[in-house]
Structure 1
Amino acid sequence: MPDSQKPDLNKPTTNKSTGDYQSLVRDNYRRLSKALPNFKPRREQNYLVAEMSKVLSGRYDAGRRILVAEAGTGIGKSLAYLQAGIPWARMQQKKLVISTATLALQEQLIEKDLPLFHPHCKPSFKFALAKGRARYCCARRLSDLRAGAAQTQMFDPGSFEQVLSDNHLLAHPPLTESQQNQLAKMWQAYSDGSWAGDKDSWPTPIETALWQQIQAERHSCQPMLGHQSCPFHKARAELEQADVIVVNHALLLADLSMGGGIVLPEPEQCLYILDEAHHIASVARDQGSARLALRQLRRSLEQFNKWHGKLNDLLGSDGQGAIAKLQHGLAQLIPSLNELYRQLVSALQRRDLTPDDQGCLRFTTGDLPCGLDEPLTRLKEDSQIFCRALGPISSQLAEQLKINPSQSAAIEAALAMISLQLLQAEQLRDGSALLLKPTLEKQTPPARWLELDAKDKQEVVLCVTPLAVGHLLEQWCWSRASAVIMVSATLTALNDFGYFRRSVGLRADDGSHYLRLNSPFDYQGSRLIIPHLACEPSSEQFDALLAEQIPLWLTDQSASLVLFSSYRQMNQAATALRAQGHSILVQGEASRQALLHLHREKCDGKQSSVLFGTGSFAEGLDLPGHYLTNLIITKLPFAVPTSPVEEAMAEWITQSGGNAFMQLALPEASRKLIQACGRLLRSETDEGRIVLLDKRLVSKRYGSALLQALPPFTILKE
């Protein structure tokens, strides 16, 4: 369809097209409900579909089609947004991009929900999973390693491969017989087409150290090298044919931070559905962060400086001008980096800078100490000059690849090396710019800090993270996307959307629509018990109290999960309970998958089973029915503001006249507590109890607010 005939999403949808869309949604639902055995209509799910449809049709605001929907466990969010989203995206000739925070939900969508809906949906659609480059093998590296080429370490001293080896420290130990056999099987499966070359679809685990030697990387796997047939590029080509793309938040935001349209379609061509949306702000913060390991970056540049003269042999006289600019750029950048490193080391030696016991020093109020502004400004400018010098070299090498195919191996290695140097130069440029970014009045400053590397005692790392990312999300996505639907079981904190709205840059009056639907589960049929306890978690006696209380609440229970706020406390309690004769499955003592498998086996075998876990077990853990009937939460999930980011955020709120506890710590604790309690009931027939071993729920004024924000369990105070 020509662009002039495509619908303009900034204009209200016509009544006719709205009617057609609504008819499609109803017809798809009718076909789906008739085809599924034992289908039961869900009132909340149908209401969610209806509200999504209204937002997409522009019924609330045709210029800002954004929905924030908190939908409790059991509503069926994924099937709801597929019913509402796919017909609209297909009618508007847009791509539907579904982004999740966890691999488990991606697998559920690709393996269950989308195949379930596909036969009953009109218009029909194709779907695909988008993964990061590192999830795919590089066919050339796989072939080389299988043949032993990457293991020899016998590079020509004048080769570019040696530079790459020095930069990447590729001194891997010899392959074991088992690894060699696995490589042979992988190569055979890839060659005969039975394996697509992605890590996740290989039937057996692949050791991390082995995978790192064959994974695709940005600097060594590019279309200009003629590697379009490699697994990564084949997967990217398949994405162009897909109508529905499933992706994780990190890959989505990485693409958006670069302007969009790099890996995924441009935002203007997308309807985004952001599931598990409560993670969006933290992932965006990670994307906007920078870490400059100064000594490592300096070594890389110095190594490159020794070998870049070999480019003369490949580019000849035509490349002399570009090489001269490259030499000039290096001659400026290396001294700038040296000066910054020297200045920091001197300040550390004089104790003008004094890191804590973990080797971390946050720059309070975000200001740079010890006159770092001047060397960082030079570093930013010289990094930019070096970036500009690398571009023409890359273009000329690509031309030489066409002209001199006999030198393809050397040219490919040189291109990979240039790409690596460009990546590092961009890190220096962008990191320096963010460290230097001035903070305007009423703007939130970034968190800036210094770290000393625990392994390399001479390494100094400068770190910077934006605290407020809402303006970035508005710039990257909200103002550009065709439509955005954000869903999660936990988007409110203390019964209000305000905390989430501020974190992602939405305003109460910007046209975004909000919806909150409670879970259909029978929460009142389950108990939430708050025992009478002798002390609060801040007491020195609290560890001993846990060792005494936890066994009491495990008595006569068949399937228990005990959640801790720290590994230290968990391991200490595990030691104490094992000394009392208890059998416990403890997080970290085996893989998550292995622990859950053993837990389910014990439950199926009518044996009592106890799982110990920390915060990561409080979210995304699915143990329905008889696999979990007794949930013990040892402590309210208040984050201890010890990380530089948390400290900086609390500092900024306080300096702005706010209350960091009420505005930051309490809402976040409320959200995490709801997530943790959500582990108990996973289906409509589930029941059990929650025991909260934190007397602050009754002794502190904020305790009642935390309880009121929870689902309506039957609360017992004992």
Structure 2
Amino acid sequence: MLSERLKGAIRDSYRQLAAGLPGFVARREQNYLVAEIAKTLSGEYEKSRRILVAEAGTGIGKSLSYAQGAIALARLQQKKLIISTATVALQEQLIHKDLPFFLKHSAVPFSFILVKGRQRYCCEHLLEVAAQGEQEANLEFAFAELSRHKPNDSDRALYQRLWHAYTHGKWDGDRDNWPDTIADPIWERIAADRHTCNRTLTHHQHCPFHRAREKMEQTDVLVVNHALLLSDLTMGGGIILPPPDECFYVLDEAHHLPTVARDHGSASMSVKGSRRWLEKLAQSAGKMGRALPSERLLDAQLKLQDALAALQPDLKALDNWLSQQPFFSESSDYRFSEGKLPDPLPLLAINLKESSKVALRALDRVQGGIAEALRDGDLKRKQAEPLQAEAGFFMQRLENFHQLWELMAREIAEGKTPLARWLSQSDDRQDIMLHASPIEVGYLLEEWLWSKCLGAVLVSATLTALSSFDYFRQQAGLKAHDGTRYLRLRSPFDYNKAELYLPRMRCEPSDPGFTGELIEKLPALLSHQKASLVLFSSYKQMNEVAEGLRSQGLSLLVQGEASRAALLTLHRSRCDGGTPSVILGTGSFAEGLDLPGHYLTNLIITKLPFAVPTSPVEEATAEWIEKRGGNPFLQVTIPEASRKLIQACGRLIRKESDEGRVTILDRRLLTKRYGKGLLDALPPFRRTIE
């Protein structure tokens, strides 16, 4: 049972929110979501598995719901609450609007902060060096490798402005808080990294990231993105963020989580590029060893040199073998079927994995020795800094190198899910990249998060596909009867105000005449409409249609011809001025686009969002499903299309007063057996079908 103190805090916050929110409308769905979040996280349903998967339709108010249901609970139990999102837009909404509003009306006081990765902050010492223009040869070597950009007079002037603002308290070292854009090559020279910007060193203790970390440790609610969360979890948790077993989690936009997890479980490396930087690491290792006083790290230095020496013959053999194979005669990618590597790759992979593991451990010891010598006064700061920069730079490269070969060498038992493994050519065709990625990542999420955290709420407007949680559950590593709770709450909006229109079409999307029919049909569908969005499945077709419509005198805003922000600003300006406006966009405009009221009344979807498995990971997934006797189209393509179609239709109704029309020009919704399931999963618009 929920404690009386917690129930009282939630009730009081609700009353204060209702009084403080203009035009507040009590929603049964929101109240139910708040209660289910609180009950699940408190262990009322299942003490050992406090996980809730909640699909909450537009208008329920997800962020205020989980604020009410989770913040009071976390505060009363003296635990951290981590809110993770997929997009910058939602982060900004939480930090600048929703959480400040809730704090103002909350019965339980709390603090919150936006947590960013280390790379978003400058390193105080590196900024000082850059501003003073010190030309440390070793430091220049590391940065030249990293950015291939040497600072010019303009860059040095910017470093001096940054340093002046930082030392005078006018800038906090956060890249996003500088008023102008800082170009990547300029930022890379001063960005903090986990190897060189070490808190144990006195001259790094007050670097911006460490000050932000101290503030984070004293804050109740941490807002992060999925990428940062997964970065921490892949390192074991508790490295960047607090340990999972000390935290409750809210994972908003949770449908993105499996893809982000897969990216963090993947690795890649180039052959010739790796050979070059490993040679330079060997030179650097000798230099580090000579710089260190006494012989206390002689063993580590020798092991590093031996491991690096062992890597080069295997890489050379790999390079020679790859150059003799016809892998790229038809495409710039080559995927190994079922993830099985041909000889001699399996043996080379094992050797490279083991040698890189030894090298990684030895370099870690050498790096630790440099820090220790600096702390003990055996190395001067001016000597140690460039050595630390080099060691940190190579540690990052070596970690990724080892991860790739660990994945390449991993044995997969018969019947178990294979890895996707493939090759690709560099753009200049002078080098070859090796890639490896898991196909299924659910077990990683179970290992990294679900089995460790105090509790988690996974929430999104689109977690079901074909009216079922099965597809998401499989992606996220959740089992059917593992104690996880599922909740589906429909939007409280009246969808009868909007029409779903399926006009008669001569062609289906696979027919050669479909693009021509779109050019013929769209002018009438756009006529007399003030605010239109037309969604396409490909840039090629969108641009062909745009050309055809413009030849008929239509004024269009086309994705790719200006930035997204610029297009939307112009669109809103036209709508406000009473001028008809038409946006043409692809799939990225089908999610996260917020055009309420008169900014969108006419939504046209030209084609069902079926993804063709073109990436090596998607191809490997389809191959694995087929091998098990399944159907990848039914098991992956259709559910994914259902989710994307719901998201696309969700662009129209953003507020209670919104109305308009959704037109879908793909007759497969009516002519194919899978069409009924896709239609039934859509919001309950009134329907007009020709």
1:643 pairs with 2:615: yes
Quote how far apart the aligned CAs of 1:166 are.
4.2
5+ residue gaps in structure 2? none
CA contact (8 A) 1:447 1:644 kept: yes
1:568 pairs with 2:540: yes
Q: Partner residue of 1:677?
A: 649
Q: Partner residue of 1:268?
A: 245
Match of 2:177 among 194, 201, 221: 201
Q: Give the aligned residue type for 2:309.
A: A
Measure the CA separation in 1 of the matches of 2:92 and 2:42.
Answer: 29
Measure the CA separation in 2 of the matches of 1:147 and 1:311.
Answer: 25
3-state SS in 2 of match to 1:642: coil
Q: Partner residue of 2:24?
A: 39
Q: How many residues align?
A: 688
TM-score by length of 1: 0.92
Match of 2:380 among 407, 411, 423: 407
Q: What is the CA deviation profile of residues 366-390 of structure 1, one whole-angstrom value per residue up to 9, with x for unaligned ones?
A: 1112321011110001001111211
Change (3 A) 1:290 1:43: same
Percent identity, aligned pairs only, is 52
CA contact (8 A) 2:338 2:624 kept: yes
1:443 pairs with 2:416: yes
Task: Kindly report the root-mean-square deviation, in angstroms, between the aligned alpha carbons of the 2 structures.
Answer: 1.9
Q: Partner residue of 2:261?
A: 284
1:221 pairs with 2:197: yes
Q: Give the aligned residue type for 1:31.
A: Q
Quote how far apart the aligned CAs of 1:304 are.
2.1
Measure the CA separation in 1 of the matches of 2:120 and 2:289.
Answer: 35
1:248 pairs with 2:218: no
| Farther-moved stretch of structure 1 (245-254 vs 605-614) | 605-614
Match of 1:298 among 272, 275, 288: 275
Q: Give the aligned residue type for 2:169.
A: G
Change (3 A) 1:382 1:180: closer
3-state SS in 2 of match to 1:214: coil
Quote how far apart the aligned CAs of 1:249 are.
0.5
Measure the CA separation in 2 of the matches of 1:137 and 1:220.
Answer: 12
Match of 2:214 among 237, 251, 258: 237
3-state SS in 1 of match to 2:139: helix
CA contact (8 A) 2:604 2:662 kept: yes
Measure the CA separation in 2 of the matches of 1:274 and 1:303.
Answer: 42
Alignment of structure 1 residues 154-553 onto 2, 5 Å: 159-172=137-150, 174-176=152-154, 183-225=159-201, 226-318=203-295, 319-346=297-324, 348=325, 351=326, 353-354=327-328, 356-357=330-331, 359-404=332-377, 407-455=380-428, 457-553=429-525
Q: Partner residue of 1:73?
A: 58
Measure the CA separation in 2 of the matches of 1:125 and 1:41.
Answer: 24
Q: What is the CA deviation profile of residues 412-436 of structure 1, one whole-angstrom value per residue up to 9, with x for unaligned ones?
A: 1111211222222222222111122
Change (3 A) 1:141 1:317: closer
1:711 pairs with 2:678: no
Match of 2:96 among 106, 111, 115: 111
3-state SS in 2 of match to 1:316: coil
Measure the CA separation in 2 of the matches of 1:664 and 1:341.
Answer: 36
Q: What is the CA deviation profile of residues 472-495 of structure 1, one whole-angstrom value per residue up to 9, with x for unaligned ones?
A: 111111111100100000000000
Q: Give the aligned residue type for 1:297.
A: S
CA contact (8 A) 1:564 1:613 kept: yes
Measure the CA separation in 1 of the matches of 2:381 and 2:52.
Answer: 51
Quote how far apart the aligned CAs of 1:147 are.
4.3
Q: Partner residue of 1:626?
A: 598
| Farther-moved stretch of structure 1 (590-599 vs 706-715) | 590-599
Q: Partner residue of 2:85?
A: 100
CA contact (8 A) 1:336 1:375 kept: yes
CA contact (8 A) 2:293 2:378 kept: no
Q: Partner residue of 1:7?
A: none
Measure the CA separation in 1 of the matches of 2:519 and 2:503.
Answer: 15
3-state SS in 2 of match to 1:590: coil
Q: Partner residue of 2:669?
A: 697
Quote how far apart the aligned CAs of 1:296 are.
1.2
CA contact (8 A) 1:278 1:488 kept: yes
Measure the CA separation in 2 of the matches of 1:186 and 1:421.
Answer: 27
Q: Give the aligned residue type for 2:166.
A: Y
Alignment of structure 1 residues 76-87 onto 2, 5 Å: 76-87=61-72
Measure the CA separation in 1 of the matches of 2:602 and 2:475.
Answer: 33
Q: What is the CA deviation profile of residues 32-71 of structure 1, one whole-angstrom value per residue up to 9, with x for unaligned ones?
A: 2223333221211111101112212222211111100000
CA contact (8 A) 1:160 1:307 kept: no
Q: Give the aligned residue type for 1:641.
A: P
Quote how far apart the aligned CAs of 1:361 are.
0.5
Q: What is the CA deviation profile of residues 59-110 of structure 1, one whole-angstrom value per residue up to 9, with x for unaligned ones?
A: 2211111100000011000000000101111122211000000000011111
1:26 pairs with 2:11: yes
CA contact (8 A) 1:383 1:429 kept: yes
CA contact (8 A) 2:143 2:189 kept: no
3-state SS in 1 of match to 2:624: helix
5+ residue gaps in structure 1? 1-14
Measure the CA separation in 2 of the matches of 1:171 and 1:118.
Answer: 45
Quote how far apart the aligned CAs of 1:581 are.
1.9
Measure the CA separation in 2 of the matches of 1:238 and 1:199.
Answer: 17
| Farther-moved stretch of structure 1 (194-203 vs 640-649) | 194-203
Change (3 A) 1:470 1:536: same
Quote how far apart the aligned CAs of 1:508 are.
1.3
Change (3 A) 1:307 1:590: same
Change (3 A) 1:180 1:388: closer
Measure the CA separation in 1 of the matches of 2:157 and 2:279.
Answer: 39
Change (3 A) 1:414 1:224: farther
Measure the CA separation in 2 of the matches of 1:344 and 1:471.
Answer: 33
Measure the CA separation in 2 of the matches of 1:676 and 1:324.
Answer: 59
Q: What is the CA deviation profile of residues 129-152 of structure 1, one whole-angstrom value per residue up to 9, with x for unaligned ones?
A: 111222222333434444445xxx
1:130 pairs with 2:104: no
Measure the CA separation in 2 of the matches of 1:377 and 1:115.
Answer: 53
Measure the CA separation in 1 of the matches of 2:387 and 2:254.
Answer: 41
Measure the CA separation in 2 of the matches of 1:180 and 1:304.
Answer: 28
Change (3 A) 1:386 1:18: same
Change (3 A) 1:360 1:706: same
Measure the CA separation in 1 of the matches of 2:189 and 2:688.
Answer: 56
Q: Give the aligned residue type for 1:19.
A: E
Change (3 A) 1:573 1:623: same
Change (3 A) 1:187 1:422: closer
Runs of 4+ aligned residues of structure 1 deviating over 6 Å after TM superposition are none
Q: What is the CA deviation profile of residues 180-237 of structure 1, one whole-angstrom value per residue up to 9, with x for unaligned ones?
A: 6655543333222232222222333333444344333344423244322222221122
Q: Partner residue of 1:4?
A: none
CA contact (8 A) 1:163 1:304 kept: no
Quote how far apart the aligned CAs of 1:459 are.
1.1
